[in-house]
Structure 1
Amino acid sequence: MRRSFILLYRVRGILLAATVAVLLGFSLFGSLLPDALSPFITQVAWWAIFGMVLGILLALTGPRFLHEAETTVVSSPVVGRWLALNSPATKTPSHGVRAYGQTYAIDLVYEPDGHERPRFGVGPAMRPPQQYPAFGEAVHSMVSGTVVRASAWHRDHRSRSKLLALIYMMFEGTIRELGGPGFILGNHVVVRSDEGLYAVTAHLQQGSTLVRSGETVAVGQLIGRCGNSGNSSEPHVHCHLMDRASLFRSIGLPMMFDSIVLDDQLNPVNALPKDGQHMTANR
């Protein structure tokens, strides 16, 4: 049963890609085909739509039927006081989808004491990323291991700071999706841990990535800086664990950060902050 669901879950990318190709082909070249083929075209189009819906359902629900994996303790990728958004400590899948190994992903926004970050809905709809305290902050490896993927060429775009800008970002995300998960994550680093797990940190600053594929890194090593690349509404660090290197075929794994201090506690704990909760991490 488990193998069957994993297989179904991992063909979602093929279903979605094939459907997009069929629908795009019909929209561009359908008028060039003979009228006699119209019934056939209509039938194929309906099957294509069915394939897209099935692919989306598999992406959203497939791993619900898999056994829960054991939680792995990793090092925080950031230092200082950070706010948690889209946290698996609040809900799973934390980002609303299970695709690309993101079931247990978390987003971290830098909010140091005494500094306010620009708030959503206040001010311009699109701000330069430099106006956010997170932009340029150090990002560290969550595990010791070998780098299997690293990118640094994606640009840092402006924030999406109001509702219309956020809607615009949703359309952007659809276009990025056609380019694959690398365009969604922007600049990112994937490290294979010594235990065989894969740690992802994403939305890094353009040109800040300090490691390359094949290099060995130590836990806590500086690997890049926080940016606003990929499908990101403001500068933040996205991170998650997955079971394999392929973002298309991976399944997300639960994790928690080692020795962080949460808002409502005095002593360090192994945990993840919930949505809207701050954590403080030290080296």
Structure 2
Amino acid sequence: MALPPDYTAVAIVQLGEAIMPFKGTDGKFHVVYDLLLTNASVAPATLERIDVVDEASRATVIQSFSGRQLVDPDCGYGDCNRLRTLPSSPAPDAKIAAQESRALLVHLSFDSLADAPKMVLHHAYLRAAANPGTMEPSDVDYLVTPVNISAGSARVISPPVRGTNWVAQNGCCDVGFPHIPSLSPLSGKLSNSQRLAIDWMRTNDDGEFVSGDKTKNESYLSYGQEIHAVADGTISSTLDTLEANTPGVLPASDPELRKRITVETVDGNHVVQDLGGGVWAMYAHLQKGSLLVKPGDQVKAGQVIAKLGNTGNSNAAHLHFQLMNDPSLIGADAVPYVLDSFSYAGFVNPELMLAADDYITGKFFADHLATVQPRTDELPMSGNIINFAG
């Protein structure tokens, strides 16, 4: 594909690997990926806008990122703060100092698969060096960085949990909660295995995550729930040695507990399963002594493999689930997926979650539907309330 030859003071490259659209519970088809922007000049640069355009029709703008979408210190959640310092915190402004880098979290959505192009380009508008010898920035723009957004089809899997009143915490696609912005420098590259991860937490019928003594794991509705294999496959690795955390304390936020976190233990007791085709599933934060599988075991979809716990970097019982393109978290990238069957039962307002205490006490079902909606082959979006068969 021919692109105009340009001096590009800010180099823009895709982070991660193959991506493709997946259908969300909002009825739209979503594409998420990350870009790395590096100011390779001696002059400062300021990102004013990036347009994602159809490679086959370059005047067609699919999505434009500017203003608060890039930087907004007053925005806690939503389509904002997509420009990140490294490894990933909201950028204080849209400036990229000479010989420094920023990441951009890209989210595209389409009404139908037919609307999604096979390939996109990125039209960047900046104040930056116009040539290698320039010391002062000026208005520049360039068309760069082809990205294939049609690398295949999202993997269809069965759900990892069963029963009613499950909330898809920290899911796709807005910024403000963990996972979407979780870039990590591992194995010599920036990767994000958690880009499409969900933290599954269960409530009672009143929408409470915890009932009773909030300092005890057993008071959380999620704790001890059975975890099910999402597809046929082979167990690649397990960890089953970590004790349960005390609820209400996130180890990464505690100076002493933080020292004990390693790449191997950050996800707590866990199971990694090979689903075939270069895709692995990870089930994390499991209860010690509950694992029913070991490396090399062949498992079937729906088979119980462990119980949900509160281990690793976790402040309350939940199942962290994701698909990835490597059996090790060290450098793995997220793989898009959808769940084969469930019922949509409403959503939890993100403002309620942001205002919740560290124990996640309270009632969160203000937006629960009176009649649930059967869904197939969709990915629950962040905050969705989901019922599963069984």
Work out whether the TM-score is over 0.5. Answer: yes
TM-score (norm 2): 0.51
- How far is the alpha carbon of 1:67 from its aligned partner? 4.3
Secondary structure of the residue aligned to 1:148 is strand
Equivalent residue for 2:230, pick from 142, 145, 157 = 142
Rounded Cα–Cα distance in structure 2 between residues aligned with 1:278 and 1:248 = 31
CA distance in 2, matches of 1:80, 1:118: 17
More helix by share: 1
1:254 equivalenced with 2:297 (yes/no): no
1:93-108 equivalence runs, <5 A: 94-99=179-184, 101-108=193-200
Report the CA distance shift for 1:6/1:138 in structure 2 as closer, same or farther (over 3 A): closer
1:211 alignment partner, one of 293, 302, 319:
293
Q: Distance in 2 between matches of 1:269 and 1:166?
A: 34
Partner residue in 2 for 1:12: none
Residue matched to 2:161: 78
Indicate which of 36, 51, 61 corresponds to 2:103: 61
> Is contact 1:156-1:229 (8 Å) kept?
yes
Q: Which consecutive residues of structure 2, in runs of 5 or more, have no partner in the other structure? A: 1-10, 18-83, 89-99, 107-144, 185-191, 347-371
Residues 90 and 274 of structure 1 are in contact (CA less than 8 Å); yes or no, is this contact kept in structure 2?
no
Question: Percent identity among equivalent residues?
Answer: 27
- Structure 1 residues 282, 173: closer, same or farther in 2, change over 3 A? farther
Matched AA of 2:253: M
User: What is the number of equivalent residue pairs in this alignment?
Assistant: 228
For the residue of structure 2 that corresponds to 1:73, the secondary structure is strand
Structure 2 residue aligned with 1:15: none
1:87 to 171, 175, 192: 171
Which stretch has the larger CA shift, 249-258 or 63-72?
Answer: 63-72
Q: Distance in 2 between matches of 1:269 and 1:206?
A: 33
Residue identity in the other structure for 2:377: N
Mind listing any 5+ residue stretches in structure 1 that lack a counterpart?
A: 8-52
User: What are the residue-to-residue correspondences of 1:180-195 with 2, within 5 Å?
Assistant: 180=263, 182-195=264-277
Q: SS of 1:130's equivalent?
A: helix
Letter in 2 for 1:257: L
Q: 1:5 to 1:254 in 2, by over 3 A?
A: closer
Choose between structure 1 and 2 for higher RCO, CA contacts under 8 A separated by at least 6 residues: 1
Greater share of strand: 2
Q: 2:265 matched to 1:175?
A: no
Residue 13 of structure 1: aligned partner: none
Q: Is it true that 1:273 corresponds to 2:380 in the alignment?
A: yes
Task: Deviation per CA, 1:200-240: give whole Å up to 9, x if none.
Answer: 11000011011001111111111100000001110011100
The answer to whether the aligner puts 1:109 opposite 2:109 as a matched pair is: no
Question: How big is the shift at 1:145?
Answer: 0.8
Q: Compare CA radii of gyration and give the structure with the larger one.
A: 2
Q: Distance in 2 between matches of 1:54 and 1:267?
A: 40
| 1: CA distance, partners of 2:289 / 2:101 | 32
Q: Secondary structure at the match of 1:183?
A: coil
| One-letter identity of the residue aligned with 2:156 | V
Measure how far apart 1:170 and its partner are: 5.3
Letter in 2 for 1:272: L
- For the 8 Å contact 2:199–2:320, the answer to whether it is kept is yes
Give RMSD over aligned pairs: 3.4
Matched-pair contact (CA < 8 Å) for 1:89–1:273 = no
SS of 2:266's partner is: helix
* Alpha-carbon spacing, 1:134–1:71, altered in 2? closer, same or farther (3 Å): same
